[in-house]
Amino acid sequence: MSRETVGGPTSRASSWSDAPSRDALQLIAEGVTKVAGFGIAAISVARSDGKLEVMAVAGSDEARESLQGRRTPLDQLSRELEKADDWGMFRFVPHERLDASAGEEWGWVPDIEPIDDPDAWHPLDLLTAPLYDDSGVLRGTLAIDLPVDGRRPGEAQRAVLNTYAEQARQSVIVALEREELADQVRMAEAARRIVRRATAQLSFERIIADSRDALLEGFRAAGMWLQTFDQDGHGEIYSADGREIALGPELVAIAEASARQAWEEQSAVVVAHDRTLEAITEEQGRLILEFLDSIGVESLLFTPLGAGPECLGNLVLTRLAGAPEWTESEATAALDIGHDLGRAILNARTFEREHQLVEELQELDTYKGQLIATVAHELKNPLTSVMGHLEMLESSPDLSGTTMTSLHAMERGARRMVRVIDDLLLLSKVGDAENPLIPVPVDLHRLVDEVVDLIAVAAEQKGLQIKVETPEDPVLALGDATELDRVCGNLVSNAVKYTPEGGTVTVRLCREGAEVVLTVADEGIGISEADVARLGTEFFRSSNPQAVAQPGTGLGLAIVRRVVARHGGRMAIRSELGRGSTFQVFLPAG
């Protein structure tokens, strides 16, 4: 294990949150003081920043206060140890050999007078056991001071001390490993949190871009790539740095099959020279290892991605030679991430499909608009000519009564066709994005008056009363006069058309804040809730037989809806079957 990884990547506070480790070290330190007969024992651990940190102290309160959590450079210890006598696990540096400043540097010098003896312990004597792990890396120290008998320890005492040093060595290694493991879990969990946040996005590329650093750091990986499978079993490969990953077709196939199996077993798998994937042939195993060698990777963590029963891809995190081995906790965290990313793939796919569908629908809508415009144009010219000829015929003398009746009927039919064609042309005009609105202030007051005047005869014939409630002054809206005239005309004519004899139609106009509100209310047949939801869809006519009995095309409200939308306004409809309807249009005030 390299020095950098000792004690985890972050420098930490002097007390461990891991109570069992702390207690174990404290117990050993206390054992040294009680059993081996020393006033003070301190156990330190080596930190990644090259410092020794005191983790457990046994002895006087004063010593504990002064030493606990103290950090001293490792180099300093190494310098002192060079001058030390070898006492088995312990190293002894008599005070005569210490640097003059050593006492200050080591921080705490017991306040004692050496006894009068050739073996007397001097307050500046240094007795420390450097604690190495099995690969020879210094992981900590056990330092002792203040022998109770005031003498440098003899052979027998040194043997006891050695036993404690060995115990301290084991405990320090275990404590550091536990700490390291806790760090790994924390880091992998942090990575998962970040990935989770990133998966709120809808583009898979963005999700990868946003989670990449978290994954590399959280898993201390040198590199990563992701493979996704689509419905046909072939997908895409995304690399961490955007560079292409040269996975040959055989490797892609192996990765895919292995991911499906790993998903089924719900496990993330480590692949290295001494561990390769299960259920693959020797030849396939060789291919994988060759590939790892070719990209200089020592080991990788292979995680399946999926949602529900479906495996959707795999995530590969790589480590280089000398990096620590993948742990169980990392594999578990990676699998959780596999679930998060799996869901993200599904979401991104759904979004993409919907997006495509919307685009197709838009294309279809454009096509429909063009078709309507073309057909309407083509019909308009011959119809104008038909109308002209009809008028000519009607004015010719000596026509019989029946001929006249037929001509009138033809003219009525032709006029109706002209109205439908005009509606179609207007509908395609107001739905055409390339024909933008050029808004000017329009006086809706005047417009309402004109519309009501025009319809007055028809209303009177039906015995309907039209009430107009408008302020005296002009009511200006920002928009196109012709289009707004049609909005008003269509709403008022519908109200008259769908209100039985004797009813009242009210047209109201007012200004509310930055908006102008046009209200057309009637006491007519009303519209069911289901039909209200569909109003404004081209060619939609209500299913109500009373409504169907009236002539109509289902274009009037579609025009209203489109005109209002392109004016940046909105519409509100309230209706009750058999009681009447209220249509309201809100437009930006001029």
Question: Which parts of this chain interact with ligand ADP (CB under 6 A)?
Answer: 490, 494-495, 498, 522, 524-527, 535, 540-542, 547, 552-558, 581
399 vs 577, which CB is nearer to ligand ADP? 577
Q: What is the C-alpha separation between 40 and 57, in angstroms, rounded?
A: 7
> SS3 of 6, please?
coil
| Residue 540 beta carbon to ligand ADP: minimum distance, rounded to whole angstroms | 6
Q: Say if residues 250 and 348 touch (Cβ distance below 8 Å).
A: no
State which residue, 339 or 497, has the beta carbon closest to ligand ADP: 497
Q: Is the dihedral of CA 46, 49, 55, 61 positive or negative?
A: positive
* Spatial CB neighbours of 12, under 8 Å, sequence gap ≥ 6: 47
89 vs 560 by CB, closer to ligand ADP: 560
Residue 498: other Cβ atoms inside 10 A: 23
Name residues whose C-beta falls within 8 Å of residue 406's C-beta, 6 or more positions apart in sequence. Answer: none
Which residues have a Cβ under 8 Å from the Cβ of 350 and sit 6 or more positions away?
none
SS3 15: coil
Nearest-approach distance from CB 444 to ligand ADP, in angstroms: 19
Our CA dihedral for 188, 194, 198, 204, rounded to 10 degrees, sits at: -20
**Axis-axis angle for helices 249-265, 282-294 (nearest 10):** 110
| Cβ nearer to ligand ADP, comparing 125 with 523 | 523
Separation between Cα atoms, residue 44 and residue 228, nearest integer Å: 48
| Cβ nearer to ligand ADP, comparing 332 with 582 | 582
Q: In the complex with ligand ADP, which residue's Cβ is closer, 367 or 539?
A: 539
b/e code 31-48 from CB counts within 10 Å (16+ = b): bbbeebbbbbbbbbbbbb
| CB nearer to ligand ADP: pick between 108 and 498 | 498
Short-list 506, 466, 487, 438, CA closest to 587: 487
- Closest approach of Cβ 537 to ligand ADP, in Å? 9
- Angstrom distance (rounded) from CA 379 to CA 420: 11
Q: Which is nearer to ligand ADP, 270 or 491 (CB)?
A: 491
Secondary element (H or E) of residue 563: helix 556-566
The two structure tokens encoding residue 581: 């309807």
Minimum separation from the CB atom of position 561 to ligand ADP (A): 9
For 267-327, where are the alpha helices, taking DSSP H only?
282-294
Q: How far is the CB of 240 from ligand ADP (least distance, A)?
A: 56
Q: Nearer to ligand ADP by C-beta: 313 or 552? A: 552
Select 245 or 535, whichever has its Cβ closest to ligand ADP: 535
User: Which residues make Cβ contacts (< 8 Å) with residue 327, sequence separation at least 6?
Assistant: 181, 184
- Which of 128/581 has CB closer to ligand ADP? 581
Minimum separation from the CB atom of position 371 to ligand ADP (A): 19
Distances (CA, A) of 321 to 2, 297, 377, 490, 571: 11, 7, 75, 78, 68
In 3D, which of 69, 47, 72, 75 has the Cα closest to residue 57? 69
User: How far is Cα 560 from Cα 545, in angstroms, rounded to an integer?
Assistant: 23
Asked whether the beta carbons of 73 and 46 are under 8 A apart, the reply is no
How far apart are CB 553 and ligand ADP at their closest, in Å? 5
Q: Least Å distance between CB 492 and ligand ADP?
A: 9
The least distance separating ligand ADP from the CB of residue 358, rounded to whole angstroms, comes to: 25
Please, what is the minimum distance in Å from the beta carbon of residue 314 to ligand ADP? 54
In the bound state with ligand ADP, the residue whose beta carbon lies nearer, of 211 and 542, is 542
- What 8-state DSSP symbol labels residue 3? G
Smallest separation, CB 560 to ligand ADP (Å): 8
User: How far apart are the C-alpha atoms of 439 and 535, rounded to whole Å?
Assistant: 26
Q: Beta strand pairing status for 465-469 and 504-512?
A: parallel
Residue 291 vs 498, nearer CB to ligand ADP: 498
Contacts of 319 (CB under 8 A, 6+ apart): 220, 221, 222, 297, 298, 299, 300, 301, 326
Query: Shortest gap between Cβ of 507 and ligand ADP (angstroms)?
Result: 12
Minimal distance, residue 567 CB to ligand ADP, in Å: 18
Q: Contact 449/468 with Cβ under 8 angstroms?
A: yes
